Structure 1
Amino acid sequence: MRITQSMMTSTMMSGLQGNYKRLDKYQEQMMTQRRINRPSDDPVGVASALQYRSQITATTQFEQNADDADAWLKYGDTVLTEVTQIVQRLSELAVQGGTDTVPKDARENIAAEVEQLYQQLISLGNSQFKGKYIFNGERTDQKPFPDDPIATAYKLDDGEVRYQVGAGITVSVNTLGEQVFGAHGDPSGIFTVVDNLKKALLADDTAGIQNAIPALQKNLETTITAQAEMGGKQNRLEFTLSRLGDLNINYMDLQSKVEDADISKVIIDLKTSESIYQASLDTMARIIRPSLMDFLR
Structure 2
Amino acid sequence: MRITQSMMTSNMMGGLQGNYKRLDKYQEQMMTQRRINRPSDDPVGVAGALQYRSQITATTQFEQNAEDADSWLKYGDTVLTETTQIIQRLAELAVQGSTETTPADARVNIAAEVEQLYNQLVSLGNAQFKGKYIFNGERTDQRPFPDDPTQTPYDLDKGVVMYQVGAGITFPVNTLGEEVFGAFGDPSGIFVVVDNFRQALLADDTAGISAAIPALQKNLETTIIAQAEIGGRQNRLEFTLSRLGDLNINYMDLQSKVEDADISKVIIELKTAESIYQASLDTMARIIRPSLVDFLR
> Scaled by the length of structure 2, what TM-score is found?
0.97
Q: Matches of 1:103 and 1:24 in 2, distance apart?
A: 96
C-alpha displacement at 1:289, in angstroms? 3.6
> Hey, what's the Cα distance between the residues in 1 that align with 2:97 and 2:269?
89
Partner of 2:71: 71
Amino acid at match of 2:76: G
Identity %: 87
Q: SS at the partner of 1:164?
A: strand
Quote the residue 2:151 is aligned against. 151
Instruction: Give the Cα separation in 2 of the matches to 1:261 and 1:198.
Output: 74
Q: Which residue of structure 1 aligns with residue 103 of structure 2? A: 103
Q: CA deviation at 1:236?
A: 1.0
In structure 2, what is the equivalent of residue 113 of structure 1? 113
CA distance in 2, matches of 1:82, 1:113: 16
Q: In the alignment, residue 202 of structure 1 is paired with which amino acid? A: L
- Cα drift, residue 239 of structure 1: 1.0
Q: Which residue of 2 aligns with 1:248?
A: 248
What residue is the counterpart of 2:19 in the other structure? 19
Residues in 1 aligned to 2:107 and 2:282: alpha-carbon distance in whole angstroms: 108
Q: What does 1:220-239 align with in structure 2 at a 5 Å threshold? A: 220-239=220-239
Structure 2 distance, partners of 1:8, 1:95, is 110
- What do the CA deviations read for 1:19-43 (whole angstroms, capped 9, x no partner)? 0000000000000010000000000
Report the counterpart of residue 134 of structure 1 in structure 2: 134
Aligned length: 292
Map 1:9-48 onto structure 2 (within 5 A). Answer: 9-48=9-48
1:166-194 deviation per Cα after TM superposition (whole angstroms, max 9, x unaligned): 11111111000000000000000000000
| SS of alignment partner, residue 142 of structure 2 | coil
Call closer, same or farther: CA 1:186–1:281 in 2, change over 3 Å: same
How far is 1:286 from its partner?
1.2
RMSD: 0.9
Q: Secondary structure at the match of 1:186?
A: coil
Mapped pair 1:259 → 2:259 = yes
Question: How far 1:290 moved relative to its partner?
Answer: 3.2
Inter-partner Cα distance in structure 2 for 1:41 and 1:238: 41
Question: For structure 1, which runs of at least 5 residues remain unmatched after alignment?
Answer: none
In structure 2, what is the equivalent of residue 268 of structure 1?
A: 268
Deviation at 1:263, TM superposition (A): 0.3
- For residues 33 and 72 of structure 2, the distance between their equivalents in structure 1, rounded to whole angstroms, comes to 41
SS in 2 for 1:290: helix
For residue 238 of structure 1, report the CA deviation from its aligned partner. 1.1
2:195 alignment counterpart = 195
**Which residues of 2 match residues 78-89 of structure 1 at below 5 A?**
78-89=78-89
Q: Which residue of 2 aligns with 1:212?
A: 212
Residue pairs, 1:275-290, within 5 angstroms: 275-290=275-290
Deviations 1:119-148 (A, max 9, x none): 000000000111100000000000000000
Q: Deviations over 1:75-119 (max 9, x none)?
A: 110000000000000000001101111111111111111111000
Q: How many Å separate the matches in 2 of 1:65 and 1:157?
A: 23
Q: Give the aligned residue type for 1:174.
A: N
Letter in 2 for 1:214: P
- 2:198 and 2:29 map into 1 onto residues whose CA distance is 78
Distance of 2:95 and 2:204 partners within structure 1: 14
1:178 maps to 2:178: yes
Q: How does the TM-score come out when normalised to structure 1?
A: 0.97
C-alpha distance in 2 between matches for 1:289 and 1:38: 37
